[in-house]
Amino acid sequence: MIRAAAVAAVGMSLVLGACGAAGGSGNYPTKPVKLIVPYSAGGSGDPVARQYARQLGKELGTQIVVENREGGSGTIGTNAVVTAPADGYTIGYGHSSPLALQVHRNDDLSYATTDDYECIGGFGDEPTAVAVKADAPWDDFAAFVEAMRAEPGKRTISVGGAGNVKDLQLQEFARVSGAEFTTVPFSGGGSEAITAVLGGRVDAVAVNPAGLAGLVQSEDLRLLVVFTDGDYTFLPSEAITEAGFDVRLTPDRSGVIAPKGLPEDARKRLTEAHQAVVDSDEFREFLDQNGYVYAPSDAADFAAKIKADTEAFAELVEG
């Protein structure tokens, strides 16, 4: 049994210069390319988007202008990408929250499905990680689940925003496990949710693993489980599937999108450059060091993943 409420952010923009050789056909690009990030500078997705921009610029041989356009749980910036001229000079950081989740909550968006924009490709997923304070009475996830079942609704888990991707991943877990607990959303995002568990205001926290790493290593927090289907090297822990729960995994999925109707030369150059970036050791190492599950995908594969996420979220939001 889960309760929920919303998130917000602020922004700025940055020009990332890049020069170098690039392959492909046609004259594209002949000027800088804008990459819109639908979150604030330094916020969710921003660091990886900037790393991607640096490397993409080298592949394309042009500047990549990173513009943060936050608000609306990522929908404002995503709308800006979808409605931009389809000339290849505006692309966007594509994230599963505005693309697959918020479409069920906002009928005024300029997009609803992957048919309304073009996917360039995907690169990484941020799973949900659940942690408790180091002195909490639960040594592992099994013990915490037992406590939730023993006192339905009493155990509390903080999340960085009501109805966000982490909140819905917990709802999926509740559906599968039958465990009843209360989520406590914080509009200040993951950092505020983490502060709540450290201060003893909630029993556990569910956020991206990167936000927990230092506190787990300093033994202020104990990591109980990560919602993956196997090994997770960034922050070793029991995977939710290893804990015996067959849940649908709905991570914070990341990739790149563009307005629908790109010229063929622009589409070809962008997809080729994307593949070169995600195949590089530099980019994979960056993802590994920042808590992402490396998940490179081409345009069709990323579109299929977003479509599957959209269907999964529909059941959770509407059901």
Residue 318: its pLDDT value, please? 81
Please write the tens of the pLDDT for every residue from 83-122. 999 999 999 999 999 999 999 999 999 999 999 999 999 9
Contact (Cβ atoms closer than 8 angstroms) between residue 209 and residue 232: yes
Residue 151: its pLDDT value, please? 97
pTM: 0.85
Q: Report which of 220, 226, 217 is spatially closest to residue 195, judged by C-alpha positions.
A: 220
Confidence at 26, pLDDT banded by 50, 70, 90? low
Contact (Cβ atoms closer than 8 angstroms) between residue 228 and residue 293: yes
User: Which CATH number applies to 13-125+253-318: 3.30.200.20, 3.40.190.150, 3.30.750.210, 3.30.2270.10?
Assistant: 3.40.190.150
What is the rounded distance in angstroms from the CA atom of residue 108 to the CA atom of residue 263? 27
Confidence at 6, pLDDT banded by 50, 70, 90? very low
- The domain spans of the chain are 13-125+253-318, 129-226
What is the rounded distance in angstroms from the CA atom of residue 112 to the CA atom of residue 187? 25
Residue 44: its pLDDT value, please? 76
Which CATH number does 129-226 carry?
Answer: 3.40.190.10
Confidence at 24, pLDDT banded by 50, 70, 90? very low
Residue 22: its pLDDT value, please? 37
Give me the percent of the chain exceeding a pLDDT of 70: 92
Q: Do domains 13-125+253-318 and 129-226 have the same CATH topology?
A: yes
Contact (Cβ atoms closer than 8 angstroms) between residue 121 and residue 195: no
| Residue 75 predicted with pLDDT over 80 | yes
Residue 232: its pLDDT value, please? 87
Q: Report which of 139, 179, 176 is spatially closest to residue 157, judged by C-alpha positions.
A: 179
Contact (Cβ atoms closer than 8 angstroms) between residue 38 and residue 92: yes
Which of 199-208, 225-234, 248-257 has the lowest average pLDDT?
A: 225-234
97-117 CB burial, b ≥16 within 10 A, e <16: bbbbbbbbeeeebebeebeeb
| Residue 225 predicted with pLDDT over 60 | yes
What residues contact residue 102 under an 8 Å CB cut-off, 6+ apart? 72, 73, 74, 75, 109
Residue 42: its pLDDT value, please? 85
Contact (Cβ atoms closer than 8 angstroms) between residue 237 and residue 141: no
Q: If you average pLDDT over every residue of the chain, what do you get?
A: 91
Helices (H) and strands (E) in the chain, counts: 10, 12
pLDDT: which is higher, 36 or 10: 36
